Amino acid sequence: MNVYIFLLLIVVVVIDVLEASSDDITKQHYEKSVLKNHKDITRIKEKLGQWKNSVVTKLTSSETNHQKRTARHLTSKRNSVGNQPITLTELNKDLLDVLYQVDMFLTEKQWDDFLSKTNGKNRRKRQASSSSFRLWAMPIPYYIDTTTVDAHTKDLIEQGVAFWQNYTCLRFTELTAPSSPCVQFIKDNGCYSYIGYNRIIQDLSIGVGCEHFGIITHEINHALGVFHEQSRYDRDSYITIDFTNIQPASINNFNEETNTTTTNHNVPYDYGSVMHYGEADFAINPSIPNIYAKEAYQQNTMGQRFKPNFNDLLLINTHYSCLENSGSGTLPLFFTIEYPISETLD
Ligand SMILES: *[C@@H]1O[C@H](CO)[C@@H](O)[C@H](O)[C@H]1NC(C)=O
Ligand SMILES: *[C@@H]1O[C@H](CO)[C@@H](O)[C@H](O)[C@H]1NC(C)=O
């Protein structure tokens, strides 16, 4: 009997060791591949660490504790829409110590801006398009690295680019070799993008599991300069966050932007934005939400990854001043984006 238990223990220990070492290999691979272009990665990790500490205290302040109590009274039905990719949170779980809010890669300069803002020092007023966050000039050059990206994913990327081009005044041009500046689509581990224009060859990764039209258009939108919907500075009027159902190490991913550093261009808050987190990302108990829509019927709209919706397009069309030039005929006067919202409603 004791011998059996002993053998069982050995098996368990061996399995643990094997798992640990394969995790280490994956981790090393991430560090090498994700970070191959980023010699400053250690400093970026440090900055992310400093920033995390400073935002978490703020987020879990007494005001939010009050909100989370009211949140418990709300109810929700889990999102049951078919064919949705698994969440970015899951896809990027090994990258969370280098990325901002799940899937954005900030440059060291952008981290410096964030830190000075969060620490209340050196508060400079800047718009989304100024300082370290800039607009692209047209046409936006992009390159698809076919040494890593397969033909099917390349096709999806081209469709994603075509979508933004079809419904905005943005114009893109595909390069045959990477050249600075450009968006370089690669297949790395996970799905991530730089935010905005950075005057470099900026990687945008469509890794395993990320090959979905909704995720690709989401990542391109980051490269265009857009943050996540639920981090808008006015989000507390639309959602209630239950911080008690967020894994403590991930609370920083629920920070909000400020009205001095970002602009919403008067575009309404949209639960159905392709940039909105799902209702239970980073949940301790994923069978209940940690984001509650104040308009309860919108609960299951959050987290859709089908395609950018009307307001996603309106934001970009405004941000890039497309509407002022609509006389040029490049922008349709009316456009409707159909995605199966009816399936998400009761
Ligand atoms: C973009 O427009 C072209 C031309 O009208 C069309 O063939 C293509 O399907 C559209 N693609 C997307 C993703 O909207
Ligand atoms: C920006 O936010 C601050 C602090 O939350 C607030 O006092 C101010 O009225 C806001 N300004 C605008 C233009 O919304």
Helix H, strand E, coil C: the string for 280-306 is: CCCECCCCCCCEEECCHHHHHHCCCCC
- Indicate whether residue 159 lines ligand 1 (CB < 6 A): yes
Q: How confident is residue 326, by pLDDT bands cut at 50, 70 and 90?
A: low
Give the per-residue pLDDT at 33: 55
Q: How confident is residue 260, by pLDDT bands cut at 50, 70 and 90?
A: confident
Query: What is the number of the ligand closest to the CA of 260?
Result: 2
CA angle in degrees (0–180, nearest 5) for 98-99-101: 145
Q: Give the mean pLDDT of 152-164.
A: 98
- Indicate whether residue 165 lines ligand 1 (CB < 6 A): no
Q: Whose CA is nearest to atom 2 of ligand 1?
A: 166
Q: Which of 157, 158, 164, 166 to mutate to test the pocket of ligand 1 (most atoms within 8 A of CB)?
A: 166
Binding residues for Zn(2+): 218, 222, 228
Distance 258 CA to ligand 2 centre (A): 8
- Cβ atoms of 278 and 323 closer than 8 Å: no
Structure tokens at 51: 């920033």
Higher pLDDT, 192 or 324: 192
- Indicate whether residue 166 lines ligand 1 (CB < 6 A): yes
Burial group, residue 343, by CB count within 10 angstroms (0-12, 13-18, 19+): exposed
| Span 11-58, pLDDT tens digits | 444 444 444 444 444 445 455 555 555 667 788 888 888 888 778 777
Structure tokens at 122: 């050196």
Closest ligand 1 atom to 160 CA: 13
- Cβ atoms of 339 and 301 closer than 8 Å: no
Catalytic residue among 108, 211, 219, 295: 219
- Indicate whether residue 155 lines ligand 1 (CB < 6 A): no
Q: How confident is residue 279, by pLDDT bands cut at 50, 70 and 90?
A: very high
* Nearest by Cα to 172 from 118, 223, 114: 223
Distance 89 CA to ligand 1 centre (A): 30
- Indicate whether residue 163 lines ligand 1 (CB < 6 A): yes
Distance 99 CA to ligand 1 centre (A): 32
Is 257 among the catalytic positions?
Answer: no
Give the per-residue pLDDT at 193: 95
Q: Which of 138-147, 222-231, 248-257, 329-338 has the lowest mean pLDDT?
A: 329-338
Give the per-residue pLDDT at 339: 38
Strand partners, 184: 143, 203
Work out the percent of the chain whose per-residue pLDDT is above 70: 71
| Span 202-232, pLDDT tens digits | 999 999 999 999 999 999 999 999 999 999 9
Distance 259 CA to ligand 2 centre (A): 6
Beta carbons within 10 angstroms of residue 170's beta carbon: 21
Q: Report the alpha-carbon distance of residue 80 to residue 162 in Å, rounded.
A: 29
